[in-house]
Amino acid sequence: MNFLTMKYFLMLAEEKNFTKAAEKLHITQQTLSAHIAALEKETGTKLFIRHVPLELTDSGEVFLRYARMFARNELALKRELSDMSGHFQGVLRIGIAPARGQVMLPSVIDRFQRKYPYCGIHLFEMDNENIWNALKRDEIDVAMARLPGEMPGISHRPWMKEEIVLLMAKKLADALWGKKGASLFVHPEERKKGLSFHFADCPFLLNSEGDIAGALARKLFRDAGFNPRMAMESENMGTMLRVCLLGRGAYFCPGNLADSLLSPDEKEKLYIMHFAEGQYELSFGYQTDAHRWKMIEKWIDEVKQ
Protein backbone atom coordinates (compact mmCIF):
# COMPACT_ATOMS: atom_id res chain seq x y z
CA MET A 1 0.00 0.00 0.00
CA ASN A 2 1.39 3.42 -0.99
CA PHE A 3 0.42 6.95 -1.94
CA LEU A 4 -0.27 5.90 -5.54
CA THR A 5 -2.72 3.25 -4.37
CA MET A 6 -4.47 5.85 -2.22
CA LYS A 7 -4.67 8.23 -5.19
CA TYR A 8 -6.27 5.55 -7.37
CA PHE A 9 -8.73 4.57 -4.66
CA LEU A 10 -9.75 8.19 -4.00
CA MET A 11 -10.38 8.90 -7.66
CA LEU A 12 -12.50 5.77 -8.03
CA ALA A 13 -14.46 6.60 -4.88
CA GLU A 14 -15.15 10.06 -6.31
CA GLU A 15 -16.08 9.03 -9.85
CA LYS A 16 -17.85 5.76 -8.94
CA ASN A 17 -16.92 4.44 -12.37
CA PHE A 18 -13.77 2.59 -13.48
CA THR A 19 -13.72 4.07 -16.98
CA LYS A 20 -14.13 7.69 -15.85
CA ALA A 21 -11.64 7.32 -13.00
CA ALA A 22 -9.04 5.72 -15.29
CA GLU A 23 -9.45 8.55 -17.82
CA LYS A 24 -8.85 11.19 -15.13
CA LEU A 25 -5.83 9.27 -13.83
CA HIS A 26 -4.46 8.84 -17.37
CA ILE A 27 -4.12 5.09 -16.95
CA THR A 28 -5.92 2.12 -18.48
CA GLN A 29 -9.03 0.68 -16.88
CA GLN A 30 -7.22 -2.63 -16.55
CA THR A 31 -4.39 -0.98 -14.57
CA LEU A 32 -6.88 0.66 -12.23
CA SER A 33 -8.83 -2.58 -11.75
CA ALA A 34 -5.62 -4.46 -10.96
CA HIS A 35 -4.61 -1.88 -8.31
CA ILE A 36 -8.02 -1.99 -6.63
CA ALA A 37 -8.09 -5.79 -6.69
CA ALA A 38 -4.60 -5.87 -5.13
CA LEU A 39 -5.72 -3.37 -2.49
CA GLU A 40 -8.76 -5.45 -1.60
CA LYS A 41 -6.57 -8.55 -1.35
CA GLU A 42 -4.10 -6.72 0.90
CA THR A 43 -6.82 -5.36 3.21
CA GLY A 44 -8.72 -8.66 3.18
CA THR A 45 -12.07 -7.02 2.43
CA LYS A 46 -14.20 -5.75 -0.44
CA LEU A 47 -14.08 -1.97 -0.75
CA PHE A 48 -16.58 -1.49 -3.60
CA ILE A 49 -19.93 -2.99 -4.53
CA ARG A 50 -19.52 -3.48 -8.26
CA HIS A 51 -22.72 -2.24 -9.82
CA VAL A 52 -23.40 0.98 -11.77
CA PRO A 53 -22.60 3.36 -10.24
CA LEU A 54 -20.00 1.83 -7.94
CA GLU A 55 -20.82 1.96 -4.24
CA LEU A 56 -18.48 1.85 -1.27
CA THR A 57 -18.93 -0.97 1.20
CA ASP A 58 -18.81 -0.22 4.92
CA SER A 59 -15.15 -1.18 4.82
CA GLY A 60 -14.73 1.11 1.82
CA GLU A 61 -16.18 4.04 3.76
CA VAL A 62 -13.68 3.43 6.57
CA PHE A 63 -10.83 3.14 4.08
CA LEU A 64 -11.98 6.36 2.37
CA ARG A 65 -11.71 8.28 5.63
CA TYR A 66 -8.13 7.15 6.15
CA ALA A 67 -7.21 7.56 2.47
CA ARG A 68 -8.22 11.22 2.69
CA MET A 69 -6.01 11.60 5.75
CA PHE A 70 -3.09 10.01 3.87
CA ALA A 71 -3.68 12.35 0.92
CA ARG A 72 -3.70 15.41 3.19
CA ASN A 73 -0.54 14.25 4.92
CA GLU A 74 1.20 13.60 1.59
CA LEU A 75 0.32 17.10 0.42
CA ALA A 76 1.48 18.62 3.71
CA LEU A 77 4.76 16.68 3.48
CA LYS A 78 5.48 17.92 -0.05
CA ARG A 79 4.64 21.48 0.88
CA GLU A 80 6.71 21.52 4.05
CA LEU A 81 9.71 20.13 2.19
CA SER A 82 9.15 22.73 -0.54
CA ASP A 83 9.13 25.49 2.08
CA MET A 84 12.35 24.18 3.65
CA SER A 85 14.09 23.95 0.27
CA GLY A 86 12.99 27.46 -0.72
CA HIS A 87 11.80 26.23 -4.13
CA PHE A 88 8.12 27.00 -3.42
CA GLN A 89 6.76 24.32 -5.72
CA GLY A 90 3.23 22.99 -5.89
CA VAL A 91 -0.26 24.07 -6.86
CA LEU A 92 -2.14 26.68 -4.84
CA ARG A 93 -5.91 26.03 -4.93
CA ILE A 94 -8.03 29.17 -4.65
CA GLY A 95 -11.81 29.45 -4.33
CA ILE A 96 -13.41 32.66 -5.61
CA ALA A 97 -16.59 33.82 -7.34
CA PRO A 98 -16.21 33.88 -11.16
CA ALA A 99 -16.72 37.62 -11.73
CA ARG A 100 -14.53 38.56 -8.77
CA GLY A 101 -11.76 36.37 -10.13
CA GLN A 102 -12.14 37.82 -13.62
CA VAL A 103 -11.86 41.41 -12.42
CA MET A 104 -9.40 41.16 -9.54
CA LEU A 105 -7.01 38.27 -10.10
CA PRO A 106 -5.27 38.48 -13.51
CA SER A 107 -2.78 41.16 -12.43
CA VAL A 108 -2.29 39.46 -9.03
CA ILE A 109 -1.57 36.11 -10.69
CA ASP A 110 0.88 37.79 -13.06
CA ARG A 111 2.85 39.37 -10.20
CA PHE A 112 2.67 36.22 -8.07
CA GLN A 113 3.99 33.91 -10.78
CA ARG A 114 6.77 36.29 -11.70
CA LYS A 115 7.98 35.93 -8.10
CA TYR A 116 7.18 32.20 -7.73
CA PRO A 117 7.33 30.65 -11.21
CA TYR A 118 7.20 27.05 -9.92
CA CYS A 119 3.96 27.53 -8.01
CA GLY A 120 0.90 26.83 -10.15
CA ILE A 121 -2.54 28.32 -9.56
CA HIS A 122 -5.79 26.35 -9.73
CA LEU A 123 -8.86 28.59 -9.57
CA PHE A 124 -12.08 27.00 -8.38
CA GLU A 125 -14.79 29.45 -9.44
CA MET A 126 -17.96 28.88 -7.41
CA ASP A 127 -20.68 30.69 -5.53
CA ASN A 128 -20.05 31.83 -1.96
CA GLU A 129 -21.59 28.82 -0.21
CA ASN A 130 -19.70 26.25 -2.27
CA ILE A 131 -16.38 28.05 -1.72
CA TRP A 132 -16.58 27.59 2.06
CA ASN A 133 -17.84 24.00 1.72
CA ALA A 134 -14.84 23.23 -0.51
CA LEU A 135 -12.48 24.73 2.08
CA LYS A 136 -14.00 22.61 4.85
CA ARG A 137 -13.51 19.50 2.68
CA ASP A 138 -9.87 20.49 2.05
CA GLU A 139 -10.51 20.79 -1.70
CA ILE A 140 -9.06 24.32 -1.81
CA ASP A 141 -6.31 26.06 0.17
CA VAL A 142 -7.62 29.63 0.25
CA ALA A 143 -11.18 30.94 0.19
CA MET A 144 -11.75 34.50 -1.02
CA ALA A 145 -15.38 35.16 -0.18
CA ARG A 146 -17.88 36.47 2.35
CA LEU A 147 -17.56 34.55 5.62
CA PRO A 148 -20.95 32.99 6.48
CA GLY A 149 -20.17 32.98 10.22
CA GLU A 150 -17.70 31.38 12.58
CA MET A 151 -16.50 28.04 11.19
CA PRO A 152 -14.71 25.50 13.43
CA GLY A 153 -11.27 24.65 12.10
CA ILE A 154 -11.21 27.63 9.70
CA SER A 155 -9.13 30.76 10.23
CA HIS A 156 -9.93 33.96 8.40
CA ARG A 157 -8.63 37.45 7.78
CA PRO A 158 -10.37 40.54 6.39
CA TRP A 159 -9.78 41.27 2.71
CA MET A 160 -11.99 44.12 1.45
CA LYS A 161 -15.46 45.64 1.63
CA GLU A 162 -17.99 45.21 -1.17
CA GLU A 163 -21.57 46.28 -1.88
CA ILE A 164 -24.47 44.69 -3.73
CA VAL A 165 -26.45 47.17 -5.85
CA LEU A 166 -29.43 46.88 -8.20
CA LEU A 167 -28.76 47.86 -11.81
CA MET A 168 -31.58 48.60 -14.24
CA ALA A 169 -31.56 49.86 -17.82
CA LYS A 170 -33.19 53.28 -18.08
CA LYS A 171 -35.19 52.11 -21.07
CA LEU A 172 -36.66 49.24 -19.00
CA ALA A 173 -37.65 51.68 -16.23
CA ASP A 174 -39.26 53.94 -18.84
CA ALA A 175 -41.18 51.00 -20.33
CA LEU A 176 -42.46 49.89 -16.92
CA TRP A 177 -43.22 53.20 -15.22
CA GLY A 178 -42.85 56.00 -17.75
CA LYS A 179 -41.57 59.29 -16.36
CA LYS A 180 -42.18 58.05 -12.79
CA GLY A 181 -39.43 55.45 -13.20
CA ALA A 182 -36.57 57.88 -12.70
CA SER A 183 -38.04 58.96 -9.34
CA LEU A 184 -37.42 55.48 -7.88
CA PHE A 185 -33.69 56.09 -8.39
CA VAL A 186 -33.66 59.85 -7.77
CA HIS A 187 -30.97 59.80 -5.04
CA PRO A 188 -28.16 57.58 -6.45
CA GLU A 189 -26.22 57.34 -3.17
CA GLU A 190 -29.24 56.89 -0.91
CA ARG A 191 -29.29 53.50 0.79
CA LYS A 192 -32.83 52.17 0.69
CA LYS A 193 -34.19 49.90 3.39
CA GLY A 194 -35.94 47.67 0.88
CA LEU A 195 -37.56 47.28 -2.52
CA SER A 196 -40.66 49.24 -3.48
CA PHE A 197 -43.71 47.20 -4.44
CA HIS A 198 -43.43 48.91 -7.85
CA PHE A 199 -40.83 46.23 -8.65
CA ALA A 200 -43.38 43.40 -8.39
CA ASP A 201 -43.92 43.61 -12.18
CA CYS A 202 -40.23 44.03 -13.02
CA PRO A 203 -38.30 41.14 -14.62
CA PHE A 204 -35.14 40.19 -12.73
CA LEU A 205 -31.80 38.64 -13.64
CA LEU A 206 -30.76 36.55 -10.65
CA ASN A 207 -27.78 34.66 -9.30
CA SER A 208 -28.36 31.46 -7.33
CA GLU A 209 -29.36 31.68 -3.69
CA GLY A 210 -25.90 30.41 -2.70
CA ASP A 211 -24.43 33.60 -4.16
CA ILE A 212 -24.21 36.77 -2.02
CA ALA A 213 -26.18 38.87 -4.51
CA GLY A 214 -28.73 36.11 -5.06
CA ALA A 215 -29.30 35.68 -1.32
CA LEU A 216 -29.76 39.42 -0.73
CA ALA A 217 -32.16 39.72 -3.68
CA ARG A 218 -34.39 36.96 -2.36
CA LYS A 219 -34.44 38.51 1.12
CA LEU A 220 -35.50 41.85 -0.37
CA PHE A 221 -38.27 40.12 -2.33
CA ARG A 222 -39.54 38.40 0.81
CA ASP A 223 -39.46 41.62 2.80
CA ALA A 224 -41.31 43.46 0.02
CA GLY A 225 -43.97 40.75 -0.06
CA PHE A 226 -43.82 39.61 -3.69
CA ASN A 227 -42.39 36.75 -5.74
CA PRO A 228 -39.93 37.99 -8.37
CA ARG A 229 -40.62 37.70 -12.05
CA MET A 230 -37.41 35.90 -13.02
CA ALA A 231 -36.26 36.51 -16.60
CA MET A 232 -32.93 34.68 -16.28
CA GLU A 233 -30.71 32.91 -13.74
CA SER A 234 -26.96 32.60 -14.21
CA GLU A 235 -23.66 32.90 -12.34
CA ASN A 236 -21.98 34.59 -15.32
CA MET A 237 -21.83 38.28 -14.44
CA GLY A 238 -20.56 39.38 -17.86
CA THR A 239 -23.53 37.79 -19.59
CA MET A 240 -25.99 39.17 -17.04
CA LEU A 241 -24.67 42.72 -17.45
CA ARG A 242 -25.06 42.49 -21.22
CA VAL A 243 -28.65 41.27 -20.83
CA CYS A 244 -29.33 43.98 -18.25
CA LEU A 245 -28.10 46.67 -20.67
CA LEU A 246 -30.53 45.33 -23.27
CA GLY A 247 -33.38 46.02 -20.86
CA ARG A 248 -34.37 42.41 -20.25
CA GLY A 249 -34.27 42.65 -16.46
CA ALA A 250 -32.94 44.36 -13.32
CA TYR A 251 -29.78 42.81 -11.91
CA PHE A 252 -28.38 42.56 -8.35
CA CYS A 253 -24.58 42.45 -8.39
CA PRO A 254 -21.42 43.76 -6.66
CA GLY A 255 -21.12 47.41 -7.64
CA ASN A 256 -17.32 47.47 -7.77
CA LEU A 257 -17.23 44.54 -10.21
CA ALA A 258 -19.90 46.05 -12.44
CA ASP A 259 -17.96 49.32 -12.44
CA SER A 260 -14.88 47.47 -13.74
CA LEU A 261 -16.76 45.51 -16.42
CA LEU A 262 -18.83 48.38 -17.86
CA SER A 263 -17.68 51.26 -20.03
CA PRO A 264 -18.61 54.88 -19.11
CA ASP A 265 -21.16 54.93 -21.95
CA GLU A 266 -22.75 51.72 -20.68
CA LYS A 267 -22.97 53.06 -17.12
CA GLU A 268 -24.88 56.08 -18.43
CA LYS A 269 -27.60 53.73 -19.69
CA LEU A 270 -28.28 52.32 -16.23
CA TYR A 271 -29.98 53.37 -13.02
CA ILE A 272 -28.37 52.18 -9.80
CA MET A 273 -29.97 51.53 -6.41
CA HIS A 274 -28.12 51.03 -3.11
CA PHE A 275 -29.48 49.16 -0.08
CA ALA A 276 -28.91 49.44 3.66
CA GLU A 277 -28.19 45.69 3.78
CA GLY A 278 -25.99 45.68 0.69
CA GLN A 279 -22.58 46.24 2.28
CA TYR A 280 -20.44 43.37 3.56
CA GLU A 281 -16.84 42.30 4.06
CA LEU A 282 -14.92 39.71 2.08
CA SER A 283 -12.38 37.51 3.85
CA PHE A 284 -9.50 35.18 3.19
CA GLY A 285 -10.10 31.76 4.73
CA TYR A 286 -7.78 28.79 5.27
CA GLN A 287 -7.69 25.69 7.41
CA THR A 288 -6.33 26.31 10.90
CA ASP A 289 -4.85 22.91 11.68
CA ALA A 290 -3.34 22.03 8.31
CA HIS A 291 0.33 22.69 7.62
CA ARG A 292 0.51 26.38 6.82
CA TRP A 293 2.17 26.31 3.42
CA LYS A 294 4.15 29.53 2.97
CA MET A 295 2.54 30.09 -0.43
CA ILE A 296 -0.80 30.73 1.27
CA GLU A 297 0.68 33.67 3.17
CA LYS A 298 2.54 34.91 0.12
CA TRP A 299 -0.66 34.79 -1.97
CA ILE A 300 -2.63 36.75 0.65
CA ASP A 301 0.14 39.34 0.87
CA GLU A 302 0.18 39.70 -2.92
CA VAL A 303 -3.58 40.18 -3.14
CA LYS A 304 -3.62 42.76 -0.34
CA GLN A 305 -1.07 44.88 -2.20
SS (H, E, C) 217-268: HHHHHHHHCCCCEEEEECCCHHHHHHHHHCCCCEEEEEHHHHHHHCCHHHHH
Tell me, yes or no, whether 297 and 151 share the same domain.
yes
| CATH number of the structural domain spanning residue 239 | 3.40.190.10
What's the rounded Cα separation, in Å, for the pair 185 and 276?
15
What 3-state class would DSSP assign to 39?
A: helix
Query: What is the span of the domain harbouring residue 21?
Result: 3-80
Confidence tier at 77 by pLDDT (50, 70, 90) = confident
What 3-state class would DSSP assign to 76?
A: helix
Tell me, yes or no, whether 293 and 233 share the same domain.
no
Residues 199-241 pLDDT 10s: 999 999 999 988 899 999 999 999 999 999 999 999 899 999 9
List CB contacts of 150: < 8 A, sequence separation 6 or more. Answer: none
Residues 273-288 pLDDT 10s: 999 999 999 999 999 8
Tell me, yes or no, whether 107 and 154 share the same domain.
yes
Q: Which of 45, 80, 115 is the last residue of a domain?
A: 80
What's the rounded Cα separation, in Å, for the pair 191 and 103?
25
Residues 44-68 pLDDT 10s: 999 999 998 999 999 999 999 888 8
Tell me, yes or no, whether 176 and 270 share the same domain.
yes
Tell me, yes or no, whether 180 and 255 share the same domain.
yes
Q: Which of 161, 170, 162, 229 is nearest to 195 (CA)?
A: 229
Confidence tier at 290 by pLDDT (50, 70, 90) = low
Q: 205: which strand partners?
A: 232, 251
**Counted domains in the chain:** 3
Q: Are strands 229-233 and 250-254 parallel, antiparallel or unpaired?
A: unpaired
Q: What is the DSSP letter of 154?
A: E
Give me the pLDDT at residue 291, please: 60
| CA distances from residue 123 to 21, 61, 91, 127 in whole angstroms, order as listed | 22, 29, 10, 13
Tell me, yes or no, whether 32 and 48 share the same domain.
yes
Residues 116-130 pLDDT 10s: 998 999 999 998 999
Tell me, yes or no, whether 299 and 150 share the same domain.
yes
Tell me, yes or no, whether 170 and 276 share the same domain.
yes
Dihedral of alpha carbons 137, 4, 50, 37, sign: negative
Read out DSSP for 98-150?
HHHHHHHHHHHHHHHHHH-TTEEEEEEE--HHHHHHHHHTTS-SEEEEE--S-
| CATH number of the structural domain spanning residue 37 | 1.10.10.10
